[in-house]
Amino acid sequence: MSQLRPDQLAGQLRRALAPVYFIHGDETLLVNECADAVRAAVRAQGFADRQVFSVEAGFDWNSLRSACDSLSLFSEKRLLELRLPGGKPGKEGGAALRDYAERPADDTVLLIVSGKLEPAARNSKWVQSLDKAGVCVTVWPVEAAQLPAWIERRMRARGMQAERDALALLAERVEGNLLAAAQEIEKLYLLNGPGAVDLDTVTELVVDSARYDVFGLVDSALAGDAVHVQRVLAGLRAEGIDPVLVLWALAREIRALAAMATELETGMAAARVLASHRVWEKRKPVIGRALQRVPAHQWRDWLQRCAGIDRVIKGRATGSSWDELLQLSLDLAGLARVRMSA
């Protein structure tokens, strides 16, 4: 019948139920939400019975065939749900799915929920048969550049209107994890309610304290605030925060600044560089000053330092990981080195 995007599924379900829904992809949140939408639609139309099959090693495909054959004995409508996490039904399973797609059972909706399909599987006969028999929903990953718009649509559905910088911050903090993004949006809704959402609100309500301190460390280092750098690092260490998380935040920022500094050396205008790297307005002054005082080669050298600190953290090189993190942070701040007390 058709291939749909996740955002098109609701409209199709309102028009008419298809005999087969095949939902597949590697974005677990969106796959599950599409499956939930199908379940809700069939319940609303009187499909009172639901039978679930999970395809694992040794799965007996005859159990699905038997369930289909037995439906004629019952008058009630039924949802058959087949969970195919690996996306590979095998030869027997592929044949069973082709057979069903050619002769769907009466008063039945077959919902197949699958993980990501490999290219060969997408062109297989069983997938093509399901596509002809019903609705296929392919869930593709949300790219980093698309994530702020995805978050904005989801917040708008909850009655929230977020500022551009607030969206950028939230997208950065969840690192492309849609489940984390959805959870943070729900938290924000519960704590702040519908309406306008600005950067300060997201900073205060969404970002957990440990992660916020890590990112605050980066901004303090770039701003040259040595006192706060030492205090934050000491606090993170006392709270038992893994130094890997601290290094990740520092390396992430250094890598971005190295790229920006390199672009500035080619003659690109500073405003264009900051815009292309999606630096939000509130951070532009501190980022701009850091780029002015530190040449591109120094950012690249610090990135090499991060690789060395990573070896220390993993025990592949001698030294104190927290001392190394402090030295790097103070170097970023443009200050002399000190040693963190044990």
Same domain, 80 and 112: yes
Identify the sign of the CA torsion 31, 15, 77, 45.
positive
Considering 87, 117, 139, which residue would you say is the last residue of a domain? Answer: 139
Task: Based on DSSP, count helices (H) and strands (E) in the chain, helices before strands.
Answer: 17, 8
**pLDDT on residue 340:** 44
Same domain, 200 and 262: no
- Give the CATH number for residue 278: 1.20.272.10
- The three-class DSSP label of residue 254 is helix
How many structural domains is the chain composed of? Answer: 3
Considering 185, 205, 225, which residue would you say is the last residue of a domain? Answer: 205
How many CA within 13 A on the CB side of residue 12?
A: 21
Q: What is the mean pLDDT of the chain?
A: 87
Considering 115, 139, 163, which residue would you say is the last residue of a domain? Answer: 139
Query: Residues 6 or more apart from 336 whose CB is under 8 A from it?
Result: 330
76-127 per-position pLDDT tens digit = 788 999 999 888 898 999 999 999 999 888 889 999 999 888 887 888 999 9
319-333 per-position pLDDT tens digit = 999 999 999 999 998
Same domain, 254 and 323: yes
308 vs 334 pLDDT, higher one: 308
Same domain, 27 and 61: yes
**Residue 339 is assigned to a structural domain of this protein:** no
Query: Residues 6 or more apart from 131 whose CB is under 8 A from it?
Result: 1, 3, 22
**Residue 341 is assigned to a structural domain of this protein:** no
Same domain, 49 and 62: yes
Same domain, 275 and 194: no
Same domain, 170 and 279: no
**Pick from 295, 297, 298: nearest CA to 331:** 298
- Give the CATH number for residue 51: 3.40.50.300
**pLDDT on residue 228:** 83
**Residue 151 is assigned to a structural domain of this protein:** yes
> Using N-to-C axis directions, what is the helix angle for 147-157 and 164-174, rounded to 10°?
110
Does residue 100 contact residue 64 with C-beta atoms inside 8 Å? Answer: yes
**Residue 226 is assigned to a structural domain of this protein:** yes
32-52 per-position pLDDT tens digit = 999 999 999 999 998 888 889
Same domain, 107 and 182: no
Domain of residue 320: give its range: 211-332
**Residue 340 is assigned to a structural domain of this protein:** no
Same domain, 25 and 78: yes
Same domain, 177 and 124: no
Same domain, 7 and 104: yes
Banded pLDDT at 339 (limits 50, 70, 90) = very low
Task: Say what the pTM is.
Answer: 0.61
How far apart are the C-alpha atoms of 285 and 276, rounded to whole Å? 16
- Give the CATH number for residue 186: 1.10.8.60
**Residue 37 is assigned to a structural domain of this protein:** yes
Same domain, 257 and 282: yes
How far apart are the C-alpha atoms of 342 and 323, rounded to whole Å? 9
**Residue 133 is assigned to a structural domain of this protein:** yes
Burial class (CB in 10 A: 0-12, 13-18, 19+), 64: buried
**Residue 338 is assigned to a structural domain of this protein:** no
